[in-house]
Amino acid sequence: MDETYTGPKLESADEINGEWVAKMMDYMSYQKIVHKRYAAMIIIRCRDIFEKDASLVNIKVPEDHEITVCGDIHGQFYDLLNIFKINGNPSETNPYLFNGDFIDRGSFSVEVVLTLLAWKAAYPKHMFMSRGNHESKNLNKLYGFEGEVKKKYDVKMYDLFSELFCNLPIGHCIN
């Protein structure tokens, strides 16, 4: 690993927790890129989680609790940070559902999707993500995600993201 990397580090994906994700978000807020090694760890961990999910995921929210539902972040990382600032970070007591279209159009799609995936790795039963029409190779090429990933990382990372997107559930049913 490059010795100049000053961002958050992991020994294994099992170490991903809320504190680590908060550090990662802060690091990326200065327009710094998480090291490829850690980005790949997050993607692979979440791919393994999503592979076990059904295409339609049932979410149980107790009557006296809430879930925050968001959609169409479209690479707007600073909007995502603002959502978490207003509503709080995902946790066991603060679940979220993101209904696809995390990427494309905005300049920070990599940061958005890595943030969402890191929260999923930290709280797999309290962070939910559905596949939108932008989580596909055709739209990734047309709207910029493919180019962004290749610029910030490389084609192998793009292939990892593409594989992960194929494993995302297509819908969720709350209660």
Other C-beta atoms closer than 10 Å to the C-beta of 53 total 15
User: What CA–CA distance (Å, rounded) separates 103 from 146?
Assistant: 10
First to last CA, the chain: 45
- Catalytic residue status for 172: no
Please say whether the beta carbons of 123 and 18 come within 8 A. yes
How many CA atoms are closer than 13 Å to the CA of 40, on its beta-carbon side?
A: 13
Among the listed residues 35, 74, 126, 134, the single catalytic one is 134
CA 144 from centre of chain: 17
Catalytic residues: 134
